Structure 1
Amino acid sequence: MSATETETDPDAEGWEAVRELPPSAKLVAKALEYNERLTQSQLAEETLLPARTVRYALSRLEECDAVDSRFSFTDARKRVYTLAIE
C-alpha cells in the first residue's frame, strides 16, 4: 500500500493504529473482523484468551477507535463489540 492510499483511505489508518497494539488486541480485532458482533465472553471463547486479556485488548482498541461498543438488546448487563474499521 502506497503512502497516498493510506492518506485517502480512513480504514487503512485504522489498521495502521491496530498494527502498533499488542498481539492480543490484534487477535481480538481479527476475531471481530470474522464475526460481525461479539460480547467479551464470546471474544474470550473465540480467541482462547483469558477474560482479563480480552478486556485489556478491547480497551486498547477503543482508545484508537478501532471498535465500537453498545449495550446488548438481549442482556443489558453485557456490551456487544463490533469492528469500526475494515
Structure 2
Amino acid sequence: MSTTEAVERESEPDADDRWASVRDMPPSAKLVAKILDYEDTLTQSQIAEESLLPPRTVRYALSRLEDEGAVDSRFSFSDARKRLYTLNI
C-alpha cells in the first residue's frame, strides 16, 4: 500500500466506528463519554467526582452528548431528583 492510499484510508470514516459522533466534541464531553464507557451508568455528581470536572462542565458535556444521541438518561428509582446517564454508542 502506498503512502497516498494509507492517508486516504485514514481519512475515510469507518462505518463501524462507534465514537464518530463524539470525535468532534469538546474534550470534556469525550472524557464524560469515556467514563460512562468504563462505568456503565452514573449520576451527574458521580461523573463529576470520577472526572474531577466541575459540575457545570459535566452538565454541559452531558447536554452535548444527549443532543448527539450518544448518551441516554433516565430518572433514578432510588432518588427521583437524580438522573442516571448511560452511554448509547
Band the TM-score falls in, shorter-chain normalisation: 0.7 to 0.9
2:76 is the counterpart of 1:72: yes
Unaligned runs of 5+ in 1: none
Matched residue, 2:85:
81
Taking only the aligned residue pairs, the percentage that are identical comes to: 68
Unaligned residue ranges in structure 2 (runs of 5+): 1-8
Indicate the residue corresponding to 1:39 in structure 2.
43
1:19 and 2:23 matched: yes
The number of equivalent residue pairs is 80
Q: Which has the higher contact order (CA 8 A, sep 6+)?
A: 1
Distance in structure 2 (CA, Å) of the matches to 1:62 and 1:4: 22
Q: Kindly name which structure, 1 or 2, has the bigger radius of gyration based on alpha carbons.
A: 2
Aligned-residue CA RMSD (Å): 1.7
- The TM-score, its normalising length taken from structure 2, stands at 0.83
**C-alpha distance in 1 between matches for 2:73 and 2:21:** 18
| TM-score, normalising length: structure 1 | 0.86
What is the match of residue 62 of structure 2?
A: 58
Q: Give CA-to-partner distance per residue, 1:46-67, whole Å, 9 cap, x none.
A: 0000000000000000011000
Q: Which residue of 1 aligns with 2:6?
A: none
